[in-house]
Structures are given as C-alpha cells and as structure tokens.
C-alpha cells in the first residue's frame, strides 16, 4: 500500500495502522511536515520511505508502480499556510492529484485509490450536511477558498477518472481531525499547547463558530473501511463525529479545564473569512462503510493533552 503525504499527521497514523497486516507500506512525501518522526514506525522493516515531490509526475509514477492501494493524503492545508502560498496550494492540490490519478490509472491492478478532500467544500455553513449537498466555494481572492477550490477540483478529478477510466476511486471528506502528533495549525493542538504553557488561549473572532471534532483514529478507521468495502467505489463520504460538535469558545474552555490550566481564554480579531458551522451527516458513511466514530471529545482531548505533555 502507498500513502502519499505519508509523513504527515493522518498519513503517519495510516502507516501505523496498515503495517501489521501488510507486507510493505510505502510512504511518498517531501517531509515538509514530519509527524511520522514521532511515531513508532520509523525503522519498521516493512516500512518503505520515498522522498519525493507530488508535483514530480515521473517520481509519482515510480512510487505508485507495484501498489494495489493508494491513499492520496499529500496536500497543502492550514489557513495560514494557504494564505502564504496560494499558488503552491493550487498546484499541489490539483496538479499533484492529477499526477497520482494518472499514475494509478496507468496500472493494471490498482484496486482502490482513496482521495482525501475536506469539509471546506461545503462553504460557509454546513450543518448536518449530506454528501449530495451543493458544494460552495467562496469568491477568488480569499485564501481559505483557494484550498477549498483545489480540493473540490480533486474530487471532480477522482470522479472523472472513475467514470472515464474505470479507476476505483473513493473520496473522503474529513471534518476537523485532531489528536496526538498533529502538526500545523489545528485549533485543538494550538489551544492545548497554550494551556499547558500557561499562555492565554487565543480565539480568532467571537468564538461562536461550531466545529465537529474527529479523533485521528476514527479518521483512519474510515479510510481503512473505504478500501475494504466494495460499495465504496465511486462514492464520496463525510468522515467525522457529529457528537463532537462544539463552539470554538466552548472548545477553548474545555481544553483549559481538561489541562488543569490557569490560562485565560481571550478573543483576538479574526483574519479572513470564518465558517459558521461545520457538522457532518455521516449516515451514508455509516450505511455504506459501516463507519462509526468511537472516541468522544473529552477522551480525545485528554489523550492529546497527555501526548503533548510527554513531549514537553
């Protein structure tokens, strides 16, 4: 099995999950984010690491060769990162996806390509939203929508390759994944690090935005089901935990409480466009994949706090 972006947060957990049951797990990554270094799989005899750029079509083709399953996690994400590099974001998320799909379509024995999209394709408001709801990307010029537009293009590409070339693709739309070893700009990680250090926990805006938080192991379970269930092919699935829904302000307060921290929650001006609600309907994932999130928010935050405490 091949994981593009396998050194990243989700990719590293996928590698951990897959290694016990597979002869070889290959990760293809440029290591711009390196979550796998903190995992237990580095040095595993069945882990193969290929350093490469998803924009290098020849390198991607070589990496995909010989693999029957491809998890396409490689992407540029994070509001601040996207804001700094919108051109690279679009190139990586669109052209990189084309490279992966082209390489997979050129193989005779690929049985699944799982593409990781985002709940951002639902636009500003997504309350218990279903997969067949209209996608909504905001106007050009706002960095947040650069990321969403690139990921929506990836979804259309995955469907097009399935329709035109018979490539067995599956698209997953993750909702706010968090957990130990997260890298980048996730709110849970940021809040916990500030709480553990006694710094003010900063909220951009008024904190009224609602998110449904999904623990990393539940996300990985959804990805594995997308490979094992025949009926997943050609489908798009929300992967999230509706029961983990909470306002950003309440999330910050919960993190402070569970961290036993004396940090204050403070509000700072918002930068850019925010999204009011991000809550999935997971009925389709439940019915078709058998997906059911298992880790509730308090447990997931506590596990993440414990992991970050051990690193300090």
Looking only at the bridges linking them, the beta strands covering 47-51 and 25-29 are parallel
CA distances to 124, 128, 304 from 310, rounded to whole Å, are 37, 36, 10
Say how many residues make up the chain: 312
Nearest to 42 by CA among 16, 73, 63: 16
Eight-state DSSP code of residue 158: H
CA distance 152 to 169: 15
How many whole angstroms from its chain centre is CA 306?
A: 22
Are 223 and 14 contacting, i.e. CB atoms less than 8 angstroms apart? yes
C-alpha dist (Å) from residue 253 to 29, 218, 223 = 36, 24, 31
Strand partners, 71: 3, 114
- From 122, 147, 161, 178, the catalytic residue: 147
Q: Given the structure tokens 């700094």, which residue do they identify? A: 84
The answer to whether residue 13 is catalytic is: no
Spatial contact of 13 and 220, defined as CB atoms under 8 Å apart: yes
SS3 61: helix
Give the Cα separation of 287 and 294 in Å (integer). Answer: 16
End-to-end CA distance of the chain: 34
Q: How far is CA 68 from CA 5, 7, 171, in A?
A: 17, 20, 17
Q: Give me the helices (H) in 166-198, please.
A: 187-197
What angle, rounded to 10 degrees, do the helices at 297-311 and 187-197 form?
60
* Active site amino acids: 147
């Amino acid at each position: 099995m091949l994981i593009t972006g396998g050194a990243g947060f989700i990719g590293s957990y996928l590698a951990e999950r897959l290694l016990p049951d597979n002869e070889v797990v290959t990760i293809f990554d440029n290591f711009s984010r390196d979550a796998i270094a903190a995992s237990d799989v580095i040095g595993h005899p069945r882990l193969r690491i290929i350093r490469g750029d998803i924009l290098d079509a020849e390198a991607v083709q070589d990496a995909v060769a010989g693999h029957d399953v491809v998890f396409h996690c490689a992407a540029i994400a994070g509001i601040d990162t996207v804001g700094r590099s919108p051109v690279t974001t679009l190139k990586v998320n669109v052209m990189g996806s084309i490279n992966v799909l082209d390489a997979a379509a050129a193989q005779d024995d690929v049985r699944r390509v799982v593409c990781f999209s985002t709940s951002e394709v639902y636009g500003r408001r997504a309350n218990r939203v279903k997969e067949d709801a209209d996608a909504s990307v905001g106007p050009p010029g706002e960095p947040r929508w650069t990321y969403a537009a690139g990921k929506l293009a990836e979804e259309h590409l995955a469907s097009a390759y399935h329709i035109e070339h018979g490539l067995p693709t599956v698209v997953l739309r993750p909702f706010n994944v968090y957990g130990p070893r997260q890298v980048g700009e996730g709110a849970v990680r940021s809040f916990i690090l500030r709480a553990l250090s006694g710094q003010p926990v900063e909220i951009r805006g008024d904190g009224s935005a609602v998110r449904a938080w999904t623990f990393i192991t539940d996300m990985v379970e959804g990805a594995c089901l997308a490979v094992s269930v025949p009926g997943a092919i050609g489908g798009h699935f929300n992967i999230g935990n509706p029961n983990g829904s909470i306002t950003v302000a309440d999330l910050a307060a919960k993190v402070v409480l569970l961290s036993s921290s004396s940090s204050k929650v403070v509000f700072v001006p918002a930068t850019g466009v925010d999204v009011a609600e991000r809550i999935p309907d997971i009925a389709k994932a439940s019915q078709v994949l058998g997906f059911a999130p298992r880790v509730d928010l308090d447990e997931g935050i506590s596990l993440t706090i414990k992991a970050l405490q051990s690193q300090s």
